[in-house]
Every structure is written in C-alpha cells, then in structure tokens.
Amino acid sequence: MAEQEASGLQVLLSTLQSSCDKDVILNILSVLTDLLSLGTGRRIHYVVSKGGSEALLQALATAAQTEPPDHGTLLPLLRLLARVGQRDRKFGLKVQKAEATDIILSLTRRHLGHHLYLTHCLWVLRVCASNVTTGTMLGINGAMELLFKVITPYSKRHVRTVRAAIGALAALLKSKSNSRRAVNRGYLGELLRLYQDWHRNDVSNNYIYIRRGLLLCLKYITNIQLGRETFLGSRGMEILFTSVQDCLSCKNLDPIITTATHILRKCYPKEHLPVVTVRSSYSFPLPGNASAEPPCEGSEGDSESEGEEEDEKDWDNEDVESKEEDCDLETDVNKLRSRPVLDRPEQELEKYEALCAELFQNFQELEFESEEKKSLEDRTESLPSAPSHFIPSATSVKHPNCRWRNQSVTEMGPDPGEQDFKVPLQSWRKKEECIWDKNDENRDIAEKARDKEFCEEGDPARSHVFALCSLLKDSAWYKKVFYLHCEASIDPSPEGRLESSDLVRNLLEKHRMDIPFHSPCFYAARAQCVKSIPGYRELAFPDFWGHQPPPYSKPVLERKHGLQRDKVLDDVRRLIQPGDVIGRTVFDLDDPSSLSSPAAPSCLTFFSKFESGNLRKAIQVREFEYDLIMNADVNSSQHHQWFYFEVRDMKPAVPYRFNIINCEKLNSQFNYGMQLVMYSVREALQGRPRWTRAGQEICYYKNHYRCRSAAAGGGGVRRRFYYTLTFSIKFPHKDDVCYLAYHYPYTYSTMMSHLDILEQNRNPRKVYWRQQTLCQTLGGNACPLLTITAMPESKNRDDLEQFCSRPYVFLTARVHPGESNASWVMKGTLEFLVSSDPIAELLRKCFIFKIVPMLNPDGVINGNLRCSLSGDDLNRQWLTPSSQLHPTIYHAKGLLYYLSSIGRAPLVFCDYHGHSQKKNVFLYGCSIKETLWQAGCMVDTAVVTEDVGYRTLPKILDKVAPAFVMNSCSFLVEKSRASTARVVVWKEMGVLRSYTMESTYCSCSHGLYRGLQLGTQELEEMGSKFCLGLLILHLKSLPCSKELMAQAALLLDLEEEITDRAQRRYSNSSLESDDEPPCAEEIDYDTACSSDGEEEFLELDQEIQECLSCVEAETEDEGVTTGQTCSSRALRGLYISSQPAPNSTALPLGSSALGLCRGFESSPV
C-alpha cells in the first residue's frame, strides 16, 4: 500500500514536470494545494522527500518561458513553492542547481507594477534567501536594490506587498556579505527612518508585522561589527529606545518590544570589566616549578561544567545538543573495559594502612576504659537525639499543601524540630584552651600535636574577638542590643579590639540560641586555626551564630512578564540618559584603602573578607542600585558564580537593586524561580537565626561586558561575554547587617566544628568514630578523613571478624567549593550515621564508612567556585593527580587503591555535588552497554557482559527520598569525564556502584517538594535518605544473617508505612501541573541567533492564506476569470469538473490523485 502511495505521488510530480497541458498542470497544482493545506508540515516533508521541490522548480522554469506569462499557472505554483521551499532544508541548493535564481528575480522585476503577482514572487524570493549561499547570490544580482524600491518611500498602499518585501529583505540580510553591502550602501539609515515612519503612523497598531519585519532587518544587519557601529552612529539606540517606551503599555506589541530590546542589548557598546585585571585578587605561590596558567577563557572546549557532569553549550535546539553529547560518548569498548596501570609505586600504598586502623584493632582496651571516658559515655548517652538523626516521617516532612511543618506526634516519636537537643554550654567552654580534648584516645597523635600547635600560634584570649570584631565596627546599634546594661565594659582596647570575655558573655547569655550541632565557641576556636590567603581576621556572623532551618519552604518565584526586557532597558537608559548615574566605587578588594574609608552618606557598606566570602568590587550606580563584581578563583581568571558578602547601613522597605555583572554560565535557575539567600543579624538576635530565600525581580541575561584572553593554540583573541544576575531586595530593618549568598553557605570551620561536636556527642559504646587527617592542603589546612561503623558487640572472635569483614562505603563531598549544597547533604549523612536511630544502628553494623567531607578545603576557605589554590578543577585530576598540586585527590585515590589492593574495594563510592542548571537530586553512574547503546553502536551481548547492579541504588532512592528522581539519572561514560572521580573509581578500582550525586540549588520537579525551593532541611534529609538506601541495597545485594534480616524488615516496614501515608496525602493534594513554567518571554542569549523555525513557517503560511482569502473574496465580488487570478477555489472547481466518469479511464491522473489522497490519510507522515 505504501509503495502504491509513493508511486502515485511520483507519477503526479513526474507529470507536473513533463506535461505541457495547462489543464493537467492546473489539476495537479490543485490536488497538491488541497493535500498540503491539511494537516501539519509533515505532509510537506513527505512531498519534499519524493522530489516535490525539484518538480515545482522545473514547472516554474517551464511556466516562466511562456510569453506572456500564464498567471493562472504561475500563482498557485509560486504559492506551493513558498510553502514547500520553507520546509525544505536544501531548497536553496536545489534552486541553484535548477538555475532558478535568475528566473525568480526576473519574474519579480517584471511584476513590479502588479502587486498581487509581485507578492507571490517575493514569497518565493524570501524562501530562496533563507539559504545563505543562495541569499548571497541574490544579493549580488541586485535583489536588495529591488526590494528597497518596493518598501520605500513610506506608504500604506499595498501593505501585503510591502510586508512580503520586508520579509524577503530580512531573509537576505541573514547573509553577512549582504549585511555589509546594505551598510555600505546606506540602507541601515533608510531602515531606521522607515521604521520611525511606520511607528509614528501606525497609531492603531494594525501593521505590527511590518514594524517587526523592519526590526528583524536591523537585527540581522547588526550581527556584524560594521552594522553595530553604523547603528550607533545613526542614533539607532536612541531611536529604538524611544520607540520601545511608547510600546510598553500595550501587550500586543510584545513581538516588537522583544526584538527591539534584543537589538539594543546587542548594540550596547562593549566594555571590559571595571577591574584592574580579570585575574583573581588573590594569588598563591605554587610549590616547585609549577606555575598557575589559567585555561583559555574563550575556548569552548574549556567551558565550565555543571556539578560534575554537564558542559555548557549554547545550543539552538535539543537535537543538536543530543548529537554533540553522543559525540562525546566513549565508544571504544577496550577503553571502557581497560584497567589502567597503577599511577604510583606499589610500595607507596603501604602508608595508607595507617588510615585503616579499624582492620587491625583488637579492641582489648574495651575492658579498661577510664572513668573519665565512662563518664563521657554516660553523659552523651543521656543526650536526646538530634533532629536529623531521624529519617523524617510523614508528619515531619514539609507538605506542599500547607507549606508548614506538621507538629503532631507519630510512631517515630515527637517531631524532632520540637526537641530540645543541645550540648550544655559549659561543656563548650574551656577557658584559654583548645576546644577539643587532646587526650581523647581516638584522636590521631599527629593530629593532636598539629591542632595544639595551630591553636597556640595566636593569643587564645583573642579567638572570640577574631570572630566578631567586624560586627561591632561602626555599628552603634550593636552596643545597644548587646550591652544594654554594661556599656562601660565594651570600650575598645588600645588595639581597637574588644575584650573577648565581655563580648562572648553578652552575646551567648543575652541572645543565646540553641541550634543543634552548632556551637559559636567551637566555631570561633576552629576559625582561628584556619589558614587563608587574605589572612582572615574577621568572621561572618551567620557562620558564628549558626543557622536554623525555617519551618516552611518557599515556592519557586513566579517570573513577572517582561522582566528581562525591563532590566535591559534600564541598562540602556544608563547609556542614553547618564545624568543620574553616580558611578562611585564603594568597595574594592584591589584597593585596600576603600575597605577602611568611611562610607558615603546614603550608601551601603559592603564587606567580604571572611571565610568563603566572595565580592571583589561594588559600584554605586544610582542611589539604590549597585553593580557587583565577583572575584575569580585563586590563581585563575574565570569561574564566577559563587558570591557571599556582608552589606549594612541600609534603609528599610526600600527596594535595592543589585547587578552581579560578571557571571559566566550561559543560563541559570535564577531564570526559573530560584532565589538567593539572605541572613539578617537583627532577625537572628530576635530568635530567628536563619538563611532565608530572598529577592524579587530576579533575572539572568547576557550583558555588554566582555573579556579578552589568548585563544588556545594560536595567537588570536577570543571574546567571552559575561552575564548579569540582577535582583531586588527590601531589607527588613534599618541599619541592619545582612549577608547575601548564592546558596546556603557551609564553611570549612563549620565542618570542622561540626565534626568536633559529633565526636563529642556520639555514644562510644555503639559508634566507632575515628577522625584522622588524610593530608595537608596546599594552604596548610587539614583535610579530615572519617571512619564510622558500629562497635563490635564484644571482643569475641566472631564479633571481631564480623567487624573487620564489613564492606566499605566511600563518600566524598565538596570538591567544588561553590557547591555548598553538597556539604549540607553530607551533614545529613554524618548526623544520621552517628545517631541513635535504629536504622542508623543497623546500617553501622552493615558497613564501614570512609568519608572525606571536604575534598577542597582551600577553595572553600578562600571563596572559590570550582578550583583549588593551584587553579585546577580537582574533579578533573583523578587520572594523574599530583601529590604536590592536588594532595587531597592524590591521597584519596591512594587510599582507594590501597583498599582495592587488599581486596576491600568499596561496595559503593559516591561523590556529593551540586548542580546549578538542573532540578531534583539524581545520580550519575557508569555503564558500558548504556553508553554504547546511546552512541548507536552495535552491542554484542555475548562479548560485552555487565552487571546491572549499578541501577539498584538509584531505584531505591527514587522510592525512599522525596527529592530524588530516577528519570534525571544518567549512566553514560563521556570522554570529557574520563578524569572525574566517578569514572576513575569505576574503571581503575572496579567499583560497579561508582556515582556522582547531584543536588539542585533550586527545586524539584516531582514528588513532595514539587515547586518548592529546597532548603537545608531537605538537603540534610537527602543525606539521611541516602543512608537508608544503602541499607536496603545491602539487604538486596549481600548475604545477611537471619537476625539482621528480621530486624531490618521490622524497621523498613515501619518506614514504608510512614512513607506510604505521606505519599497518599500528597497524591490527594492539589498541586500545580507545571513544575518549571517557561519564562514569560524569550531568553535570547546568542547575539547571532535568529527566530527561524516553525514559528517563522507558520507566519509565512498565515501571510499566504490571508492573501489567498482576499483574492478569493475579490474573485467572487468582481467575477474575475480563472485566467486572470486562479484562486484555489477555482482550481478545485477545475479539478472536479475534469474528473472522468466512474467507469472511464480517459484521464489516469484522476485515479492517481485519488489514490494519493487516500495515501495521505493513512500515511505515517
């Protein structure tokens, strides 16, 4: 049947090419018109695939040779050519091959005086010009001059013809050579004047398509540098800006506003960032002969990836993106299956035995515990559990309907958030001493000495002053709040510092907040030991005071219509109306004098020289608007995304606008409802110490700043454009001190003090905890390594053997400093592992956990986004890490090598990351077969065998973790990821379940948290749910004792019951159907992109149909003969009248055509 259909169409097209009979040709054209006027563009593609374009072009050549031209044939033929040609990607080449360009131009010139015929010719001319080569040829042959005769001077006569001519001109100007020709001949100024005429005279907005068509012409001309320069010289910015202001009040004019705004943004004079150098304000001398050579900033090959995985490319469509991803897939089976040789001498692995003391410990000391340790155990055992020790039950999870935490009591006990979990304050204070116990037998001896040395370097009495000196500087209100009754005790010392005893006493006693697993004193003492490049002497209040998650989640921010264009227009106003621009630098890391000079009146004060802080420069643009510049990573000139800074001296309830002008990502979740986070000191002291989602009118778009750098492999120059993140904030209090950050900060000192508290609060009888130093970083900071498992039941041989034979799980996090969400997930994992929760106790009996909670301490400390002090992305160094430049990666890999060499390779390896452009929490894994299948390779299942167990854990997490989505997971192995932890551990250590876990910065698209921005509580919950998933994986994958299985079944049944109840309640709730609504406007980032596509096809189809309807109406009213204007209705009449009788075979065309009609109805196209 399909062959008959194809045969019928081919006969039809062949007859069209060869026949000279006018009636036959009209019949064929009528049938094709009817067929292609129904359905979608897929029918046209089917006709194209059968040679329809060639047949129509041949028929056009034949018809054009007739003298005089037969318009009854030409008009339907031209209409069909316009409709078919615009969907034929090779139409331009076919036009050249048929030598039809001269024919089309000749027909256009011949019909300049007849606007109906001319309109049809212009449609075909527009379609031909869509091919750049054909368009260039038409431009050389005078097509543009011809079109300008049609569109100038301004006139409202024959507007359909003018519209068609402008559309053809826009298509021609997509060719850069045509654009240059247009500029050189002065056409750009003509277009601007013509646009002004149409704008002024189109009071009723009846000619929007003509006005937008003129703007498209300007848009394509300004794609070249010469066009932009001429546009600026012709006052194009002022003309378009003024016209856009007139259009803003009418929503119907959005197509005009959007196109004009794009032109304004693109033609804004390009500038370099207002900084001394694009390199970081901080530099670090590297050991040996190593030098910090930044990667090429303009090279696409070095584009920054999301989390671990997703390289950023400015794709035009998803098909191109998927093709490029497929090209990156590793298709060499030998490389996928190979085990590379050891990257270091084998004898060097012996030193890692000291990091696995649990395998050689005999636990004889269990009988000889000191009274002091027993007392500690009794004290810690009596402490209540921490909130995140529990796997959240249905009632403790924030529900989308109410947005508030349910405070009822469940089978799991009282709601954890209501429990009074705290360590007594007096146990935190050890006057004039380090806060950790140096006599703890579980503390590594070398680390004890190092800790002691670090803390004795400075005066211990200044440790708390160090933490808070910035808070009191030039802030009179602090004195009133902190020291209402003891102002005499707060006078500064001669050195300008306050007495630490007064400071700490007033803060902790007057405004004491009990935040689980956080101690300001622990934090201050740990922060004193941190080594940073700037030599931080001040501490951010949020890190010192702590963060308590809010009892609710905020939904994603709804994007206001027209927000992006409004912000771009505000930027253009600076150029056109500079009178109100202040342009005053109020903060500059490169100018130390600006940090100490008093702030100008009515001006915010900024500060960022504290741990994890990142703000390089602040410029006051207007009274309530500031441009901000982020600092690049140390020893680098790129990687700008993370920001964290302090701001003070604000007015309340006033919308301050902040523009971060040197972002590098091509897109951001800020365009899809994500908000930044803010911490108010006043709010904290009033009992609400928390980071909250904040910011309105948030938008992310390409700006006019650019950076020049040497291109890779050549002496040329590439330009990299920056992007602006703009947002407005109304501060809640006058003269408050607030902190703004990209995401919830989690500093190195926070982690270290958290580990101290966890170690002190664990139950030593049940929890085996060993904290060691994996290595020292380049900056001289310790990289901690944790070992967590269950203590053996006794010192019996069977219990000790069970202890030593437990499989390993290896977890790492924060290799990228800007991914602070990874640390919050890790926090949830750690707190769950040491908790008294029954599932946690069972999990500790199943596994030995090796955990590196922060692989890049130096980067976190110094406010980097992605790199270490060496300027390298550490997650691209796992193949051949340097012991000098990448010590944390080198030794983490060495430990994994050691475990593999003794037959104890981890059952699971997982590296925690954050993803700034995707929603949900998900895993990346490794699979040979899935990679080959995705790449379209043939897979011989007899040769390529693979255990599918790598999918088990993601499937489990999809069921137990509300934020986790299996559909977001990927198990492909890309060439560009060959040096990441996930791929190296999978390939070199043979770990089947080697993963990267990515957590969104924004929100979820499914489940309980759909449409809600994730907070720290949800991230910590994900960490605990990951542990639950590991337990279920153990039960599914490994042999277990009957006792263990029974105990696990009981606990998991209870957990499943609670989860099912939450899911039932969720399924009955009314949720929004769209988790990520599209932006209210087109986000146009690429200055060279156009609006080609199905929308443009539909626009031309509509234009043809409107003209056709008008012609038909005129035909009926005036009785025009078929020979004068052959409308489609007349053609259909001709076709019907020419059909033979049912039994006749006089015209085989009829049966072929009918068969073709039936074929289209049933055809798969």
Q: Identify the bridge partners of residue 678 per DSSP, sorted by sequence position.
A: 692, 740
* Dist CA 703 CA 701 (whole Å): 6
Cβ–Cβ under 8 Å, residues 831 and 389: yes
| Apex 560 CA angle, 556 and 566, nearest 5 | 135
* Dist CA 923 CA 969 (whole Å): 5
Q: Which two tokens stand for residue 1090?
A: 């156009």
Closest by Cα among 510, 667, 533, 515 to 1084: 667
Other beta carbons within 10 angstroms of residue 18's beta carbon come to 12
Give the full edge-to-edge strand order of the sheet including 644-648.
Answer: 605-607, 644-648, 737-741, 676-680, 692-694
* Dist CA 379 CA 762 (whole Å): 10
Helical axes 1128-1137 vs 22-36, angle rounded to 10°: 120
| AA letter at 449 | A
DSSP codes of every residue in 110-136: HTTT-HHHHHHHHHHHHHHHTSHHHHH
Dihedral sign, Cα of residue 270, residue 273, residue 276, residue 279: negative
Q: Which helix (H) or strand (E) holds 894?
A: helix 887-901
3-state secondary structure 620-688: EEECCEEEEECCCCCCCCCCCCCCEEEEECCCCCCEEEEEEEEECCCCCHHHHCCCEEEEEHHHHHCCC
Q: How far is CA 259 from CA 190, 250, 903, in A?
A: 18, 15, 64
Torsional class of 573: left (φ above 0), alpha (ψ -120 to 50), beta (otherwise) = alpha
Please tell me whether the peptide bond between 153 and the residue prior to it is cis, using omega within 30 degrees of 0: yes
Of the residues 998, 1021, 1055, 1103, only one is catalytic, namely: 998
| AA letter at 795 | K
Torsional class of 186: left (φ above 0), alpha (ψ -120 to 50), beta (otherwise) = left
Q: How far is CA 1026 from CA 426, 493, 1064, in A?
A: 34, 50, 22
Cβ–Cβ under 8 Å, residues 733 and 298: no
Buried/exposed 583-605: b ≥16 CB within 10 Å, e otherwise: eeebbbbeeeebeeeebeeebbb
Task: List phi, psi (to 5°) of 681.
Answer: -65, -40
Closest by Cα among 237, 269, 548 to 386: 548
Other beta carbons within 10 angstroms of residue 1129's beta carbon come to 14
* Dist CA 211 CA 213 (whole Å): 5
Buried/exposed 861-896: b ≥16 CB within 10 Å, e otherwise: bbbbbbbbbbbbbbbbbbbebeeebbbbbbbbbbbb
Q: How far is CA 507 from CA 159, 464, 527, in A?
A: 76, 11, 18
Cβ–Cβ under 8 Å, residues 1032 and 961: no
Cβ–Cβ under 8 Å, residues 855 and 812: yes
Q: In the chain, what is the straight-line distance between the N-terminal and C-terminal CA atoms, in Å?
A: 14
Query: Can you say how many angstroms the Cα of residue 149 is from the centroid of all Cα atoms in its chain?
Result: 48
* Dist CA 878 CA 982 (whole Å): 9
538 is catalytic: no
What residues are annotated to the active site? 998
